[in-house]
Structure 1
Amino acid sequence: MFEDDVEERAEAILGDVPFDTELGKRLAKDARRVANGELSREKFHEKHHEAVVREFGRDERNSKPEGFDDE
């Protein structure tokens, strides 16, 4: 039930932005997993880095783990 509510709110908020709504929802879902201790910040960054770069041309998120080399 909670997940459905989150999906609806995300659609309402992200529906009119010029960016990839699905990417935003995936980032938000995994950010909740990081906050709950179910996913490490490092794995979060690794999982989403390429999609963030494709969408925005660069990845300047504060979540970049120390020592991560994206080249």
Structure 2
Amino acid sequence: MSEIHRITVDAEQCGGRPTLRNLRIRVKDVLDLLAAGASPAEILEDYPVLEMGDIQATLEYASRQSDHPVLRVA
């Protein structure tokens, strides 16, 4: 089941960057933690306001952002 509905964008919050449930926790922040090797359990422990669905939404959002065609110029 998709959790993408948890991603919110508000021009008045975090410079319009995607956040999780308007919590002022940016999608990028969670992605950076995951990329640095933090486990979902560690992230949830450090950010008790987050839920597992938020981490799933973050990964789903990142996956969708990277799925675009690459155009080559001859």
TM-score (norm 1): 0.34
More helix by share: 1
The structure number with the bigger radius of gyration is 2
TM-score (norm 2): 0.34
More strand by share: 2
Question: RCO higher in 1 or 2 (8 Å CA, sep ≥ 6)?
Answer: 2
